[in-house]
Structure 1
């Protein structure tokens, strides 16, 4: 038997770079690749002793920690399927994931015990373990791992075998479990290494939750593959992130526009030494001009991209040298990935024509767990994944996102793509966040409304926003109403939950 998947990664790192620092923890502790690999062996032995083997689902509910990554690689050694659970989920949502995934084991943080009780009972999970030191009465992985019988596991695993079920953020409905293979995460890591130039000397600050596929697939995986170092944080706080960048000479950072805006707005921003940083990636939405300006003033430039859970998640990347020349674009397809645009009949359309974005490559997922009909509907007859997003390719092959199919507003027979309107509203100085949604209208069917957050001390009116956009956009695209809210509802990955806004302001999905 031989493991050709992620289960071999840690043993290879132990061989190639045993004394290299793999993780730097928030309190300053470090773990080498040898120590990481040894812990992975212990956890895989612990799971195997409880009967976990190839194809069994192991759920994990916990904040960023060594245990998260070690459990993932331990499952990969056994050919088991790792199920990361969103730590922001309420108990009913956790129950849904545990039951839907068919988890046979659950590993969770002590602090999150109240989230899992109902799910453990509903899913009849036979094995429940605690991370870290556990409690005074119940030992955690730190005690159970070293005591487990056995050693390094080497199950018969191929790149085509499943390695994880990652639940979609649910921005368009009930979460679905995207089944990712060992090959999906391997090729996603390769795409990042090629297009973002990840090397062993890199130090990556991990401020996004690892249960989100962007942080896992495009952050942790390429760093481990190349033997780099991760500074592992449980969460994001702008001042602390700046401190860690300076202290640990961080070279890589990933986030969403809000992440970068909060850092640039922090009082420590002007005085923090950022000279080590040279790889900044941003996803979720295009980087507003004001953020580009703030970072370029410090000599920093962004890589931007597009992807989703189903593509592990990267599909395209915009290199820093093209940020201005192709502003608004999400870039070219990753090296091992292809992108095309198709119309409603499935025909590939000419460049410059808006249609559905379709993606092909070894990073495209296996399908939705337990949902064969949804899986079949998500692929074309010739095997391309139908993203559900609208966009177009320009004359140079760069991809531009128009919007989610389900977010498109039809007003008086005219199509309005909210992303286009949002990008312009987002550049208004007083506005810190924006979502454009369709609201029912007796005359036009739907009209666009803008829901915004504003900076401290700032004010904004509907008239001001419309005046700013008038003459830039067709008048039917101008928001008929601008509503100021304290906070926009977001998923764990930073995406705005538009269904919540539609429900609140007059339209459900």
Structure 2
């Protein structure tokens, strides 16, 4: 075959796993043969609309079979897929459409108004609307059914661009990370090797596919191995627990809050969890109380660290190390290298804190039409500068200290907010927390906690200080606390610390 890219995977998988279920969504099951046929028909319909090698096609929507059909149909043609974050405002969506040069937009009907507001003054010349229920009548479905369905073997190389994913843009305008077929392929290899994904794996995807974690760590590796994906459009604890039991889910990924809410749900004790083999928690370390709740059911967590620019897997902490290496992000993935460097890019020895640099075939080569940003993102042209700071221990396990820009320097001492935040999250009353630096005449900066309490809970500043006494050095303990109803977040869910510093420092 001429097509070496991941867009051709379902066509290849059709031969080996024709009748095996590939996708389950909203009560509809698609086998690999059925999914491959729909992808070929959509590819043909897109070709008729002028989409070809190098074209850009955007998708706006939550987890849906159409997301994956579009991704494979677009990349099968050698075109670029541009998934859009549904939490973005129409103005931000319009920026992504204009910046990427997307010619066609496919969107779920629930985001019709956002799509209509985002398209004007963009390069988009045609839109297709997807019905909520897979296969139901819509302009998308009519276009797909009108396609010839003959598979075309388009020449696509591994180094060709496949996806443009926009960063959350906490400062300035978002940048489009260009992920190649090589990036996504090697990341999938990393996942398959390190997580033991098999053709019998059944993964429940509750994290949004428009984020690289669900796409790169969940969907692509499972489909490459011939497993089954169960899609849910949003996180609802009751629905997740029901799906785990109904579909005999083997793999579930989420953030600490996801797993906390599941363990606190009234159906938790009555749900059969015996099929679960792998729980993966990202975003931050698993709080001890959540870890213990799952251990009581015979379950453990793997964790890790990654970035959009690394497709996204960088390190993995196996469940067997969740206690002995608590707080660690784990070891580098099999085909990925990590090192800690000083300001000049020189490698530092174990135990010394510096910037985390990453290299490997899963790392991007460029930002979309941002040559200066691309140049500044790499050391010596090959080591990606993560902007995160951390250290490795004597065994090579990575520990994340914080974002470089978020570090607080108090009286000459470095304070890493992530460490303080993790300690504060040990309080059962806390829903979320961010620690920022505020000016201080004596010390230069001191930490301040910005806290959101769980509904109906009460907690005072004194309680937080008492909890941290003996757990953290005195200079790390927040001098003051601000209580809010919610924390400001980016469209991808990251806390806007710059906004917090502006308002509360």
When normalised by structure 2's length, the TM-score is 0.96
1:420-459 counterparts in 2 under 5 A? 420-459=419-458
Residue 411 of structure 1: how far off its partner (Å): 2.3
Larger CA deviation: 448-457 vs 286-295: 448-457
Any idea what the Cα deviations from partners look like across 1:408-461, whole Å, max 9, x if unmatched?
Answer: 112233221101111111112222222111223344332211112223432222
Distance 1:234 1:206 in 2: 8
Residue 473 of structure 1: how far off its partner (Å): 2.0
Matched-pair contact (CA < 8 Å) for 1:133–1:143: no
Q: Say whether 1:402 aligns with 2:401.
A: yes
1:96-115 counterparts in 2 under 5 A? 96-115=95-114
* 1:20 alignment counterpart: 20
Any idea what the Cα deviations from partners look like across 1:354-404, whole Å, max 9, x if unmatched?
Answer: 000000001001211110000110001151101000000000000000000
Any idea what the Cα deviations from partners look like across 1:308-342, whole Å, max 9, x if unmatched?
Answer: 10000010000010110000001000001000000
Larger CA deviation: 435-444 vs 420-429: 435-444
- Matched positions, count: 502
Compared CA separation, residues 426 and 413, structure 1 to 2 (3 A): same
Distance 2:138 2:299 in 1: 46
Distance 1:15 1:489 in 2: 48
Q: Say whether 1:280 aligns with 2:297.
A: no
Compared CA separation, residues 382 and 49, structure 1 to 2 (3 A): closer
Q: Say whether 1:340 aligns with 2:339.
A: yes
Matched-pair contact (CA < 8 Å) for 1:212–1:492: no
Distance 2:172 2:445 in 1: 20
Distance 1:43 1:428 in 2: 51
Residue 144 of structure 1: how far off its partner (Å): 1.2
Matched-pair contact (CA < 8 Å) for 1:188–1:314: yes
Distance 2:7 2:456 in 1: 52
Matched-pair contact (CA < 8 Å) for 1:305–1:316: yes
Larger CA deviation: 263-272 vs 427-436: 427-436
1:143-154 counterparts in 2 under 5 A? 143-149=142-148, 151-154=150-153
Q: Say whether 1:252 aligns with 2:232.
A: no
Distance 2:170 2:252 in 1: 25
State the SS of the aligned residue for 1:121: coil
* 2:41 alignment counterpart: 42
Any idea what the Cα deviations from partners look like across 1:269-323, whole Å, max 9, x if unmatched?
Answer: 1111111111000111111111100100010100000001000001000001011
* 2:213 alignment counterpart: 214
Distance 2:488 2:186 in 1: 32
Q: Say whether 1:3 aligns with 2:15.
A: no
Distance 1:153 1:441 in 2: 65
- Where in structure 1 are there 5+ consecutive unaligned residues? none
* 2:268 alignment counterpart: 269
Distance 1:305 1:173 in 2: 28
Any idea what the Cα deviations from partners look like across 1:6-62, whole Å, max 9, x if unmatched?
Answer: 121011111110100111113x22111111101100111111101111111111101
1:15-164 counterparts in 2 under 5 A? 15-26=15-26, 28-132=27-131, 139-149=138-148, 151-164=150-163
Matched-pair contact (CA < 8 Å) for 2:377–2:385: yes
Residue 155 of structure 1: how far off its partner (Å): 1.2
* 1:205 alignment counterpart: 204
* 1:473 alignment counterpart: 472
Residue 482 of structure 1: how far off its partner (Å): 1.8
Q: Say whether 1:302 aligns with 2:297.
A: no
Matched-pair contact (CA < 8 Å) for 2:250–2:276: yes
Residue 146 of structure 1: how far off its partner (Å): 1.4
Larger CA deviation: 115-124 vs 155-164: 115-124
State the SS of the aligned residue for 2:450: strand
- Where in structure 2 are there 5+ consecutive unaligned residues? none
Distance 1:492 1:229 in 2: 28
Any idea what the Cα deviations from partners look like across 1:239-276, whole Å, max 9, x if unmatched?
Answer: 11111111111110000001001111111111111111
Residue 128 of structure 1: how far off its partner (Å): 1.5
Distance 1:489 1:235 in 2: 20
Distance 1:97 1:349 in 2: 38
* 1:239 alignment counterpart: 238
Residue 501 of structure 1: how far off its partner (Å): 2.2
Distance 1:276 1:489 in 2: 37
When normalised by structure 1's length, the TM-score is 0.96
Distance 2:132 2:111 in 1: 14
Distance 2:77 2:209 in 1: 21
Compared CA separation, residues 409 and 272, structure 1 to 2 (3 A): same
Distance 1:456 1:449 in 2: 22
Residue 150 of structure 1: how far off its partner (Å): 5.8
Residue 149 of structure 1: how far off its partner (Å): 4.0
Matched-pair contact (CA < 8 Å) for 1:447–1:480: yes
Distance 1:460 1:150 in 2: 61
* 1:370 alignment counterpart: 369
